[in-house]
Chains A and B, each alone.
Chain A
Amino acid sequence: MEWANAIIQGILLGGLYGLFAAGLSLIFGVMRLVNIAHGDLIVLAAYLALVATQTLGLDPLASLLIVVPAMALIGYALQRLLLNRTLGDDLLPPLLVTFGLSIIIQNGLLEIFSADSRRLQAGALETAALPLAGLSIGLLPLLQFGVAVAAIAGLQLLSWRTPLGRAFRATADDPEVARLMGLDNRHVFALAMALSLAIVALAGVFLALRTNFDPAIGPARLIFGFEAVIIGGLGSLWGTLAGGILLGVAQSIGAQIDPGWQILAGHLLFLAVLAIRPQGLFPRLAA
C-alpha cells in the first residue's frame, strides 16, 4: 500500500514537473532558446504570490489572477528588451544572458526576502483529502495535477487550433518567411515568452502551495523541467507531461527507498533515458 501511495504521489507531483517543462519546451520550440533562468522565474512567481497573499489578503489560488498576468507581462518585456537581442546563430549569448539573469533573480530575491524558507498557506484545502481504495489522496495535489493537464491541453489547443499557434509554428519553421507573412518575429517571440511565463506563474504558485521555497531552489526546478522535456521527447507537449510524470514517479519511488535518493533517482532515470533512448520516450512523430 505504501508503494501504491508513493506511485500516486509521484504521478501527482509529475503534473507539476510537466508544468515546469511545458514553458521551457514552448520557448525552445518557437525560438530555440533555452532559458537557464526558467527555474528562478518559477521561484519569482512564488514570491509574487506570497506578496499578493500577504499584502492584499488574497487566497493563494485567487492570487493567480494577479501573478499570471504579471509574469506574462514580465515575460513580454524581458523578451522585447533583453532576450531578442541575444538570438542568432551563436548559442552562447542567449545561454549566458539567461544564466546571468538566473544569478540576478536569485540574489535579488535573497536581498529582498532573505534566505528563509517560505510557504503559501491554503487553509483547509491543504489537509482535505479524498479517500480512494484505502488510500488518501490530497485534494491540493489532485487540483494541481488537474490544472497541469488542463494547461497542457490548452497549450496544445492553442498551438494547433488558433492563429497565434499558427504564427508560433510558422516562426519556428522559418523565421525569415514568417516575416513575409507580416509577422514581426520580435513580437511573436515576446508573446511566446509571455505565454511561457504565464505557465511559469501557475507552476510557481502550485510549487509554493506544495512545499517550502527559498531564493536558491530555482536551478533544481529548471533541471526537473529539463529532465521532463528530455525524458518525454523534444517537441511534444503530451510527451512532456508524460516525462514529468515519470520523473515524479521515479523521485517518489527513490524517496520511498531512502530519502537521500529522491532527487538522485530522478537524475538516474534521466541519464538512463539519455543512454538508451536519447530522442526521448514519446518524441513527436512529424519531421
Chain B
Amino acid sequence: MPDLLELRGLDAFYGDFQALFGIAAAVPAGRVAAIIGANGAGKSTLLKTVAGLIQAPRRDAVLFDGEPIGGLPAHELVARGIALVPEGRRLFPSLSVEENLLIGGRVRRPGPWSLEAIYSLFPVLAERRHVPGPALSGGQQQMVAIGRALMSNPRLLLCDEISLGLAPVVVRDIYARLPGLTAQGMALVIVEQDVSQALAAADRVFCLREGRVVLEGPATSVTREAVASAYFGV
C-alpha cells in the first residue's frame, strides 16, 4: 500500500528554538502509527507541524498522498483530509456538543462520517447533544473531540494524548473503537504516553527523544527494553 503520510527530514522551530530535527517517517493508509517519547521529546510538535498549526520550513518535508504540503496553513489541510484531535481535548466552551460536532463538519469531504454516525459510535453523546462542552465528563469530552475531528471525514487522523487524564476503563473504551476507524482506509497517528497502550493499538512505533527519531519499528517487534533505552538514551 502506498504511504499516505511521508515525512522527509522535517524540522520545526519555535522562534529560534529548534524542536524537531530531520524527522523521517511514513504511514500507509489504513494503518496506525504510534509516537512515543518522554515529555518534551517533540511529539505534540510533530503532530502540530503535520496539521499545519506550526509552519514546516520546507514544502517537501511533508508529503500527503504524494503531494508536498509542508508549511500549508491548518485550515487548508483540513480540506485535504488531515484532522487533529488536540491535546487536552479543547472543546469550544461556548458551543454545545452538537455545535462542536457541526463545526468539525464545516469542511466536509465525502465519507462515512455524519452526526448520526458519530452518535452511533458514541451513543452517550446523542443524549447530551445540547449540553455545553465543559459540562461533560473528561471521557465524554474526548469523544466529542474525536467526533469533531472525524466530522470532516479525514484520511489522516492525528490524536494527541487521548488517554491523558482519563480513567483506565474509559481509555479502554475509546481505544476499542479505533480499529473501526481505520477499516475504511483512514490512517491514524497517535501520540501516547502509555507505552503498552500504544504498542497494543499501533502497527508501527516511532520513539522520539530531543526532537529526533531514536527508535522505529513494527509494534510487534519492538521490545519494552528497547523502548526503555530509547526513552532515556542509555
Question: Are chains A and B touching directly in their complex (CB below 8 angstroms)?
Answer: yes
A173 touching B94 in the complex, CB below 8 Å, given contacts A181-B107, A287-B134: yes
The answer to the question of A170 belonging to the interface, with a C-beta cut-off of 8 Å to chain B, is yes
Complex Cα gap A167–B103 (Å): 7
The answer to the question of A172 belonging to the interface, with a C-beta cut-off of 8 Å to chain B, is yes
Interface size on A, as a range, is 10 to 19
A166 in complex: contacting residue of B52, B75, B102, CB < 8 Å? B102
Minimum distance in angstroms from B111 CB to a CB of chain A? 15
The answer to the question of A123 belonging to the interface, with a C-beta cut-off of 8 Å to chain B, is no
Question: Which chain B residues lie closer than 8 Å to A174 at the CB level?
Answer: 90, 92
Question: Which chain B residues lie closer than 8 Å to A173 at the CB level?
Answer: 92-95
Interface size on B, as a range, is 20 to 34
Question: Which chain A residues lie closer than 8 Å to B93 at the CB level?
Answer: 173, 287
**Contact B95–A181 (Cβ < 8 Å):** no
B103 in complex: contacting residue of A170, A286, A287, CB < 8 Å? A170
Minimum distance in angstroms from B147 CB to a CB of chain A? 13
Minimum distance in angstroms from B33 CB to a CB of chain A? 19
B78 in complex: contacting residue of A172, A180, A287, CB < 8 Å? A180
Minimum distance in angstroms from B88 CB to a CB of chain A? 10
B74 in complex: contacting residue of A167, A172, A179, CB < 8 Å? A179
B86 in complex: contacting residue of A177, A182, A287, CB < 8 Å? A177
A182 touching B79 in the complex, CB below 8 Å, given contacts A167-B106, A287-B134: yes
The answer to the question of A184 belonging to the interface, with a C-beta cut-off of 8 Å to chain B, is yes
A169 touching B106 in the complex, CB below 8 Å, given contacts A180-B53, A182-B79, A286-B132: no
The answer to the question of B99 belonging to the interface, with a C-beta cut-off of 8 Å to chain A, is yes
B84 to chain A: closest residue by CB: A180
Question: Which chain A residues lie closer than 8 Å to B152 at the CB level?
Answer: 181-182
**Contact B95–A179 (Cβ < 8 Å):** no
**Contact B94–A183 (Cβ < 8 Å):** no
A169 touching B92 in the complex, CB below 8 Å, given contacts A179-B73, A180-B53, A182-B106: yes
B102 to chain A: closest residue by CB: A166
Complex Cα gap A286–B102 (Å): 21
Minimum distance in angstroms from B93 CB to a CB of chain A? 6
Q: Is the interface of B mostly helix, strand, loop or mixed?
A: mixed
**Contact B79–A170 (Cβ < 8 Å):** no
Question: Which chain A residues lie closer than 8 Å to B149 at the CB level?
Answer: 180
The answer to the question of B104 belonging to the interface, with a C-beta cut-off of 8 Å to chain A, is yes
**Contact B73–A183 (Cβ < 8 Å):** no
Minimum distance in angstroms from A223 CB to a CB of chain B? 28
B149 to chain A: closest residue by CB: A180
The answer to the question of A260 belonging to the interface, with a C-beta cut-off of 8 Å to chain B, is no
Complex Cα gap A179–B83 (Å): 10
**Contact A176–B53 (Cβ < 8 Å):** yes
Minimum distance in angstroms from A175 CB to a CB of chain B? 11
Question: Which chain A residues lie closer than 8 Å to B132 at the CB level?
Answer: 286
A182 touching B99 in the complex, CB below 8 Å, given contacts A174-B92, A177-B90: no
**Contact A182–B75 (Cβ < 8 Å):** yes
The answer to the question of B36 belonging to the interface, with a C-beta cut-off of 8 Å to chain A, is no
**Contact A286–B86 (Cβ < 8 Å):** no
B86 to chain A: closest residue by CB: A177
The answer to the question of B187 belonging to the interface, with a C-beta cut-off of 8 Å to chain A, is no
Question: Which chain B residues lie closer than 8 Å to A181 at the CB level?
Answer: 75, 78, 103-104, 106-107, 148, 152
The answer to the question of A163 belonging to the interface, with a C-beta cut-off of 8 Å to chain B, is yes
Complex Cα gap A182–B52 (Å): 11
The answer to the question of B51 belonging to the interface, with a C-beta cut-off of 8 Å to chain A, is yes
**Contact A183–B106 (Cβ < 8 Å):** yes
Question: Which chain B residues lie closer than 8 Å to A180 at the CB level?
Answer: 51, 53, 74, 78, 83-84, 86, 149
Question: Which chain A residues lie closer than 8 Å to B74 at the CB level?
Answer: 179-180
Minimum distance in angstroms from A170 CB to a CB of chain B? 5
Complex Cα gap A181–B79 (Å): 9
Complex Cα gap A157–B107 (Å): 23
Given contacts A180-B74, A184-B75, 13 further A-B contacts (CB under 8 A): A167-B103, A173-B95, A174-B92, A176-B86, A177-B90, A177-B92, A178-B92, A181-B78, A181-B106, A181-B107, A181-B152, A182-B79, A183-B106
Interface residues of A (CB under 8 A from B): 163, 166-167, 169-170, 172-174, 176-184, 286-287
Question: What would be 22 A-B contacts, judged by CB atoms less than 8 Å apart?
Answer: A166-B95, A166-B103, A169-B95, A170-B92, A173-B95, A174-B90, A174-B92, A176-B53, A178-B92, A179-B75, A180-B78, A180-B84, A180-B86, A181-B75, A181-B78, A181-B106, A181-B148, A181-B152, A182-B78, A182-B106, A184-B73, A287-B93
